[in-house]
Amino acid sequence: MSWSGIPGDATEYTFRGNEITWVGKLCPSCGMADVYIDGEWDSIVNTHEPDQHAHRWLNQGGWQAPIYEMSWPQSGAHKIRIVVREDKDISSTGYNVLIDSLQISGSD
């Protein structure tokens, strides 16, 4: 798992395949991220989710959630870049963006 709550922080990963899924965490202190695919901006992802367990402060949120998915008709070389945004959901208490894994399908 990797994470950051600092706007502007980024990570990128180059891979071969025809599908990628970013698996991460949704939580009350989670923020938003810009996702770039192959150098082009693709979308804004909001990872904020309120928690229904007010007394479970340590493990709040939803782990192992599919956050973002992209697929292509054919396998090839691609790059994903995830950047913590400077803005956030109005209900969020933070800017945290978490990555549990990047799942690749259809690799050569």
The domains found in the chain, sorted by start residue, are: 2-105 (2.60.120.260)
- 82 CB-contact burial (10 Å; exposed 0-12 / middle 13-18 / buried 19+): buried
Altogether, the residues listed in the chain come to a count of 108
The pLDDT tens digits for 32-78 are: 999 999 999 999 999 998 876 655 555 566 788 999 999 999 999 99
Q: What percent of the chain has pLDDT over 70?
A: 90
**Is residue 105 over pLDDT 70?**
yes
Q: State the pLDDT at residue 23.
A: 96
The pLDDT score that the predictor gives to residue 30 is 94
- Tokens 């978490």 correspond to what residue? 98
